[in-house]
Structure 1
Amino acid sequence: MIPQLLTVRYRRAGGRLRRLYVPLLPVLLVLSPVLLLAVLGGLTACLIYGVRPVGALRGLGRLVWALPGTSFEIEQGPAAVLVSIR
């Protein structure tokens, strides 16, 4: 399943918790020209370093498919950030 929603929760120094919901499909549609350039740059790097482009794209696809359910938290002092991907 492709990730669909990115949830970012962060706590400022005052202790107030804020949430930000980011739907990933509209973000990907807006950034698609940049993603196309990134893919072309990645394919060029594969050719320069002798990595098979199909294998690299397959690995990237597996990474994206594994993202749903991922969460990580960073906490430093009174501030904290929790990111979860659904």
Structure 2
Amino acid sequence: MIPQLVTVGYRRRDGRRLRLYVPVLPILLVLSPLLLIAVLGGLVACLATRVSPLGALRGTGHLLWALPGTRIEVEQGRTAVLVSVR
């Protein structure tokens, strides 16, 4: 399943927390023109390095399918960042 929601939590040095909910589909629709340019650039890069474009596309699909349930936590001193993909 493609990720639906990305939650970004941020704890500031003073202890206050900030949480942002980012829906993936609307962001993807807004950035779709850039996505098209990125896909064309990836195709050119695959052809230049003699990598199979279908294999690269399949690997990208596997990566996106594996993202739901991923949690990334980074803590530095009293500042912490949590990224959760649902």
Q: Indicate whether the TM-score tops 0.5.
A: yes
Matches within 5 A, 1:18-33: 18-33=18-33
Following the alignment from structure 2 to structure 1, what is the Cα–Cα distance between the partners of residues 68 and 47?
30
Q: Which amino acid aligns with 1:29?
A: L
| Cross-structure match for 1:69 | 69
Question: Aligned residue pairs: how many?
Answer: 86
In structure 2, the residue corresponding to 1:6 is in which secondary structure? Answer: strand
Following the alignment from structure 1 to structure 2, what is the Cα–Cα distance between the partners of residues 36 and 24?
16
Is 1:82 aligned with 2:60? no
Alpha-carbon offset, residue 18 of structure 1: 1.3
In structure 1, the residue corresponding to 2:82 is in which secondary structure? Answer: strand
Alpha-carbon offset, residue 41 of structure 1: 0.2
Following the alignment from structure 2 to structure 1, what is the Cα–Cα distance between the partners of residues 23 and 12?
23
Unpaired runs of 5+ residues, structure 2, are none
Is 1:56 aligned with 2:31? no
In structure 2, the residue corresponding to 1:15 is in which secondary structure? Answer: coil
Following the alignment from structure 1 to structure 2, what is the Cα–Cα distance between the partners of residues 7 and 45?
32
Q: Which amino acid aligns with 1:43?
A: L
Following the alignment from structure 1 to structure 2, what is the Cα–Cα distance between the partners of residues 35 and 77?
36
Q: Which amino acid aligns with 1:66?
A: A
RMSD: 0.4
Runs of 4+ in 1 over 6 A off after TM superposition: none
Is 1:43 aligned with 2:43? yes
Unpaired runs of 5+ residues, structure 1, are none
